[in-house]
Amino acid sequence: MAHNTEASQTDKQGGLILDFAGVLTASPVDVHRAWCVSEGLAPEAWRSTLNDHPEGRRLYTALEIGEIGQAEWNQSTAPLLGEHIDPVNLMGRAWAKVPVASRMVALARAARAAGHRLALLSNSFGLDPFNPYEHVGIWDLFDVHVVSELVGLAKPDAAIYQLTLELIGVPAEQCVFVDDHAVNLPPAAELGITTVHATDEDIAVAELEALLGVTAASVA
């Protein structure tokens, strides 16, 4: 009888796989715009430099998969933003005021308390000198950390989802993956993982509560 009870509990265990920026934090877009203005830049300078500038995109991709570190990225990206931009802790200065997504964190805590396994699956933007995960205090929430810089893979490469499943130790069909970028969801779905596109924190939390059978604690 004890064996059957243990098997039943294992069957109910799920895996919650969470992206970081835009899921465990608020959207950084407005903060980055305000930071740009405070630095004497156009509001869209951060986004356009990292996404549209060929060298800016190359540097950010290299940072994501650990080919360069954050300090080198800071030094190389600052002049692309503007000649007057100080490279010292550039990433940290731009991200410092991005707030944690309190309700999503509460949901993650509730899921873990209910026995679900938690994995952080994040495309990195560097760990040193600015560690964004420690900055908002979410690192210790997770049983498993899959950070692109540390594993040399980045979403939406299918291999990083497979690695996450291996590390979390829960079948794909019992896992839920949450990301704010739609492009990152199909590779997870193809493995059998339930996916949630997080475009609104409250809506995403409500969907996860229903999927996982937990209730996020109220956040003042």
Q: What is the average pLDDT score of the chain?
A: 93
Distance CA 175, CA 192 (A): 8
8 A C-beta contact, residue 149 and residue 124? yes
| Banded pLDDT at 94 (limits 50, 70, 90) | very high
pLDDT greater than 80 at residue 9: no
pLDDT greater than 90 at residue 8: no
pTM over 0.85: yes
The residue-averaged pLDDT of 52-66 equals: 98
The pLDDT of residue 13 is: 77
The pLDDT of residue 217 is: 82
Name the fold adopted by 2-27+99-212.
Answer: Rossmann fold (3.40.50)
pLDDT greater than 90 at residue 185: yes
Query: Which part of the chain has CATH 3.40.50.1000?
Result: 2-27+99-212
pLDDT greater than 70 at residue 6: no
pLDDT greater than 50 at residue 183: yes
Distance CA 120, CA 177 (A): 10
Determine what percent of the chain is predicted with pLDDT higher than 90: 92
Name 4's Cβ contacts closer than 8 Å, sequence gap at least 6.
none
Calculated CA dihedral for residues 168, 219, 207, 187, nearest 10 degrees: -40
pLDDT greater than 80 at residue 4: no
Distance CA 6, CA 28 (A): 43
The pLDDT of residue 7 is: 33
pLDDT greater than 60 at residue 165: yes
Neighbours of 205 (CB within 10 A): 24
Distance CA 44, CA 29 (A): 9
